[in-house]
Structure 1
Amino acid sequence: MIVHFAVDLHRELLHSRQEKLDTVISSPFSIAAVLSMTLAGARGKTAEELLSVLRVKDDKVHENFAAFLPKLSSHSHKLQFHLANRIYSDQKFPVVENYVAFLNSSYVSTILSVEFEKSESVRAEINDWVKVTTESKIVDMLGPGIVTASTGVILVSAIYFRGLWELPFPTSSTSRHEFNVNSKTKVEVDMMHQKQEFAIARSDELKARAIEMPYKGGKASMVILLPDDIDGLSHLEHHLSHCKLSTILADLKETPNVQVSLPKLSFQQGLSLKSTLTAMGLNDLFSTSCDLSGMFKTGRPSVFELVHRVFLQIDEGGTEPGPATAGEASAPAGPEAAQTTEFLVDHPFMLLVLKSKSDVVLFIGSVRRP
C-alpha cells in the first residue's frame, strides 16, 4: 500500500532539500493518509494526480486505510504511537456533510472550518491540538507565517513513535562509541549493544546489509539498511527502488548470534511538503485548478500547504527497567558459539519502521549524523 510511495517520497525529499541535513526522515504512512483523505473529496485531474502520486487504485485505498487505522490505534500502548492528521479549511467554504462523515468512519479524522483571517489564532489552535494529540511530544507544529488570511485549505500531518523492542537493549551495555560521519569525520554517540537472533539480509545491488528488529507485540519492526562502505549511503539512496526494497525485505533470514550495535537516536523534523509533492506530480492540488468539489459545496479553494512533522525516538526500549540480563542471548554449545555475525551501525545508514506482515512504511529516513 505504501512502499512505492515511500521510496518515491524519500528520493524526492533527498533531491529537493536545499540544505544538507544530517537526517531526513518522514512518515509516508501519515502523509499518504492525509493525501487519501483529500483524495476522497477531489475530482477530475486533481483526483487523477493524487492516485498517480500515491500509486493506488481508488476502489482500494480508502478501504485499506479504514481497515488499518483502528488496528494501529489498538496497539498504541505497546508502540507509543500517536497520529495527528486533520484538514483545516476556511469557513467561507461550506463542507459537504457526507464528506465529514466519511472521514470520521474511514480515517478516524475530520475537517474543521476555521477563520483564516485570524491566522495567529488558527495557528495556535492547530498547534494546541497537535500538542494534546501527541501527548506534548510535538509542539509548535506550525511556525509563524505558515497560515495567512488568504489560506483556503491546509493539510496537517503529525506523528510520534517510540516502539518498545521485543528484545530490549540492556542499558548497562550502552557506551560511548565513535560514529563515522564520513571517511574524514568522526563523532561520539551513545551506542546500544546486544547479541541475539535477528533476521539479516544482503543486497549486492544496493551494496548494503539489512537487519530487522521487531517491536513488542510483533505488530511492527525497524529495519536498518547499512551500506558496506562508510561513504556508501548516497549509492544506497540513489539505487533504492520499491522492487529492490521489497526484495531485501523478503530475503531477511533469521540468524543466530548477531551482535548488533545501534546508536541511540531522537529525531524531530518538520517539513513543508508543497514543493516536494509538486515535483512528484501533484500540480492541481496546490493551484487555482484544484477541484475539491466532493469536499466543498461551493467555492474552488486550493491546498495552501501540507505541513508534516515527525518525532521518532530510538532507545534501549523499555518502559520499565528490565533484569540485568535482558537482551543477552544464552551462549549455544558446540561450534556455533564462535560464529558471531557483527552488525555495527557506526556510519551513515537508512532506517524504516514497518507494520509487520504488510507493505506499510510508517517511517523512512536517512541518518548521516545521529
Structure 2
Amino acid sequence: MRALHSPVNGRVSGAGPFLEPGQHSVSLEAPETRRWGPEPVKAKASGQGGVDPRVPPRLSLSAPGPGLRPPPRGYLRSGVAPASLPAVPLSPRPGVLSFNKSGGGGDIHQGFQSLLTEVNKTGTQYLLRTANRLFGEKSCDFLSSFRDSCQKFYQAEMEELDFISAVEKSRKHINSWVAEKTEGKIAELLSPGSVDPLTRLVLVNAVYFKGNWNEQFDKENTEERRFKVSKNEEKPVQMMFMQSTFKKTYIGEIFTQILVLPYVGKELNMIIMLPDETTDLRTVEKELTYEKFVEWTRLDMMDEEKVEVSLPRFKLEESYDMESVLCSLGMTDAFELGKADFSGMSKADLCLSKVVHKSFVEVNEEGTEAAAATAAIMMMRCARFVPRFCADHPFLFFIQHSKTNGILFCGRFSSP
C-alpha cells in the first residue's frame, strides 16, 4: 500500500508502478553492479519512480530483500518480474534508482501491461490473481492522463473516498477490498491510524496465489522433526516427506543445493535453495545477484533425479513499513515536502508519507497458498543411493512463473 498526502492539507501515501509515462529515468548500470544488497543509492522522487533495486522489476514495492536482515522468524515478500524487463540495478556509486525505459527491456509500462495479462489469464490449473486500485480523496483533482495510464497499463481503477470526514470508514473499505482480493488471507492491510484526514491518495496492489503440488506429499509421512535454527538451537517442526523425481543441482561456489518443486500444470515452480549445514544462509544471500539466480536455476542445466525430500510445513505472514528501508537506500526526496515531484499525478503538491507491505504464504502437503558442482548419483549393482534434500535448517524459497521467469513470492524460512 502507498499513501500520498498533500503538504498543504497534509501528507500523501503512495508511489511505485503507478507513475505517469515519462516519469522514469533511463539510467542503467552494467550488469556486474546489480545486486540484491543494501548499498546506499540516491533516488530522487523528482522525475523518477521509486523502486526497490534488490529484486527484478515487479508489481509493487515489497518486503526487504536478502541483503537486509529480516525479522527473526524470516522474511516474506511478493511481487512479479517480467522476463522481458532488465533487472533493476543498484549502483555502487551515487546514481539513480530507476527502471530502464530505453534499453533492451523496452518500455516499462508496456512490460507491466503484458505481464499482468499473462499472470491473470484464465484456464490455468492454479489460482493467481493480481489486483491494483487507487483510492483517491474525492475533493482532490487527479490528472485524467494519470487515471487513464493506470487503467491502461496496470488495470487499476480510481475509486473516490472521503478521507477528510470519513477516514475510518475509508480505511475499513480499503481493507475489505484487499481481503476480498486475497481470499481473506490479508484481512487488515491498513492498521488504525495509518491513514488520516490529510490523506489524498492510497495506491494498493494485491497478489494472491494458490497452487497444488504436481506431486503431493502424503500426510501420513508427515512427522515431528527437529529444525536447526542455529548451532545451539533447535525447534520442533512438522516435516513433510516424499521420494520422487525432481530437477536438482548443486552450486559448489556457495555450497548450496537447489531443488525445483513444480505445481500442477508445471507453469509455476517453488525453487528452494538449501545451504550445506556448515554454510550460513547469510553467505548465500551475500553472493546472490539476480543474474546468478537466473543462471543457477536454469531448468535445462539441472539433472532430473530421484530424491528424498524433507520439507517443513510452514506458514509465514509478515508486515513491513517500507519508509525506513527506502530512505536507507537513498530514496528520500519522495518523502520530503518541497522536494517530492508527483506532478504527473496531480497539479497539487503531493509527497509520499507511507509505504506498507504485507504478505502471506502457507506451504503444506497439498501445495502452497500465498497472498520472492552437480550432485552425483552413485550407482551400485544391487541398489541405488537416493540423494537426500533435507530442509531441516534455514533456507530460501522462491515461487516462480515459468514462462516469464517472474518471481511472484520469495522468502527465507529460518525458524518454525
TM bin (shorter chain): 0.7 to 0.9
Cross-structure match for 2:134:
87
> Contact 2:79/2:207 (CA < 8 Å) preserved in 1?
no
Alignment TM-score, normalising by the size of structure 1 = 0.81
2:347 is the counterpart of 1:303 = no
Cross-structure match for 2:100:
56
Task: Summarize deviations over 1:267-308 as a string: whole Å, max 9, x none.
Answer: 221222122123234333322222222222x20211222221
1:144 deviates by: 1.3
Determine the C-alpha separation between the residues in 2 that align with 1:24 and 1:153: 28
Task: From 185, 197, 200, give the equivalent of 1:152.
Answer: 200
1:239 deviates by: 2.1
1:11 deviates by: 9.5
> Contact 1:212/1:221 (CA < 8 Å) preserved in 2?
yes
1:337 deviates by: 5.1
Determine the C-alpha separation between the residues in 2 that align with 1:346 and 1:95: 52
1:230 deviates by: 5.5
Indicate how the Cα distance of structure 1 residues 138 and 11 shifts in structure 2: closer, same or farther if over 3 A, else same: closer
Determine the C-alpha separation between the residues in 2 that align with 1:279 and 1:155: 22
Give the percent of matched residue pairs that are identical in Structure 1 and Structure 2.
26
2:329 is the counterpart of 1:267 = no
Task: Summarize deviations over 1:43-62 as a string: whole Å, max 9, x none.
Answer: xxxxxxxx953543264221
Task: From 29, 45, 64, give the equivalent of 2:80.
Answer: 29
* Partner secondary structure for residue 162 of structure 1: strand
Deviates more, 1:163-172 or 1:79-88: 79-88
> Contact 2:63/2:322 (CA < 8 Å) preserved in 1?
no
> Contact 1:6/1:364 (CA < 8 Å) preserved in 2?
no
Cross-structure match for 1:258:
307
Cross-structure match for 1:238:
286
Count of paired positions: 335
> Contact 1:156/1:308 (CA < 8 Å) preserved in 2?
no
2:174 is the counterpart of 1:126 = yes
Query: What are the residue-to-residue correspondences of 1:170-185 with 2, within 5 Å?
Result: 170-185=218-233
> Contact 2:181/2:208 (CA < 8 Å) preserved in 1?
no
Determine the C-alpha separation between the residues in 2 that align with 1:54 and 1:314: 34
2:256 is the counterpart of 1:212 = no
Indicate how the Cα distance of structure 1 residues 264 and 91 shifts in structure 2: closer, same or farther if over 3 A, else same: same
Cross-structure match for 1:324:
none
Q: Which of structure 1's runs of 4+ aligned residues deviate more than 6 A?
A: 8-11
Task: From 290, 299, 310, give the equivalent of 2:340.
Answer: 290
* Partner secondary structure for residue 125 of structure 2: helix
Unaligned runs of 5+ in 1: 33-50, 320-332
Look up the equivalent residue of 1:149 and give its one-letter code. Answer: P
Indicate how the Cα distance of structure 1 residues 137 and 126 shifts in structure 2: closer, same or farther if over 3 A, else same: same
Alignment TM-score, normalising by the size of structure 2 = 0.72
Deviates more, 1:242-251 or 1:188-197: 242-251
Cross-structure match for 1:74:
121
CA RMSD of aligned residues (A): 3.0
Task: From 337, 343, 360, give the equivalent of 2:406.
Answer: 360
Indicate how the Cα distance of structure 1 residues 75 and 130 shifts in structure 2: closer, same or farther if over 3 A, else same: same
Determine the C-alpha separation between the residues in 1 that align with 2:55 and 2:345: 29
Task: Summarize deviations over 1:146-182 as a string: whole Å, max 9, x none.
Answer: 1122223333333332321112212222221111111
> Contact 1:134/1:159 (CA < 8 Å) preserved in 2?
yes
2:156 is the counterpart of 1:109 = yes
